[in-house]
Amino acid sequence: MATVTPHLRQELSRRGIECFIGEGGTISDHAVFEPPCGLKWMATHHTVSLGAFSYAVSGFYSEVMIGRYCSFGDNVQVGRGAHPVDWMSTSPFFYAGERLFNIGTEFEQSAEYTAYRPGHPGDIPVRNSRTVNDFLKRTTIGHDVWIGHGAFIAPGVTIGNGAVVAGQAVVTKDVPPYAIVGGNPAQILRMRFDLHKCAALQALAWWRFAPWQLAGVPFADVGKAIPQLRTLIADLTPYAPAKVRIADITAAQ
């Protein structure tokens, strides 16, 4: 994890990444951002990728690929690690590859606690810094996705382009493109548009372009926007900025 310093925030801002995380906070050193975008108060862990024109207000994000033009509310939870429910115990004391608590030594059998590491249970990988990427499931969130406040997205699901996840929803399975889902567990409430419009937007993949390239398109009227997009993007070069990698910034310090 990279520690947030005034210098790191300044470098992120200079490169097109908005960051409100306070000094002493952390950002995953595997995080990759496509400018411009808003990291704001996101808590990032393991591999996190955030596309251009996307932002998340706050919450937990682990092992997730996020597309462009996404809008995430407060306290959204994505990729929270699961526990092994088919083992005798769900406790990480039996699979974590490192000490669970960072504590002192003035308690009974502290030496035993400090020395303890779980055994390797057959062919099941031990969860430690060398095998954690094998243990985690990657979550994929498409482009133009809106996730409301407090939603929970289970590890390993895919949320399609243009989807909407209602606040406080618990998403445990894949969400189709342009579906609006809500509830616990989340269910499809309706589609944003009819199937022909959804298919047209998918085919156009308008998120390949920057907003200033799409000036004049009537986004408030999807029926009128689709034919205009077909004509406009035929002559456009997709927006392709250089990626901003936390590891590159910290390595240069």
Annotated catalytic sites, by residue? 83
How far is residue 120's CA from residue 207's CA, in Å, rounded to a whole number? 45
Looking at residue 37, its amino acid is C
| 3-class DSSP assignment, residue 237 | coil
| 3-class DSSP assignment, residue 167 | coil
How far is residue 233's CA from residue 82's CA, in Å, rounded to a whole number? 42
Q: Are 201 and 162 in contact (CB under 8 A)?
A: yes
| 3-class DSSP assignment, residue 1 | coil
Smallest Cα–Cα separation from 175: which of 186, 160, 162, 164?
160
Q: How many helices (H) and strands (E) does the chain have?
A: 6, 18
How far is residue 101's CA from residue 99's CA, in Å, rounded to a whole number? 6
Tokens 């986004």 belong to: 219
Tokens 């959204």 belong to: 76
| Beta pairing partners, 171 | 153
Q: CA-CA-CA-CA torsion for 198, 204, 209, 215, nearest 10 degrees?
A: -80
How far is residue 161's CA from residue 204's CA, in Å, rounded to a whole number? 12
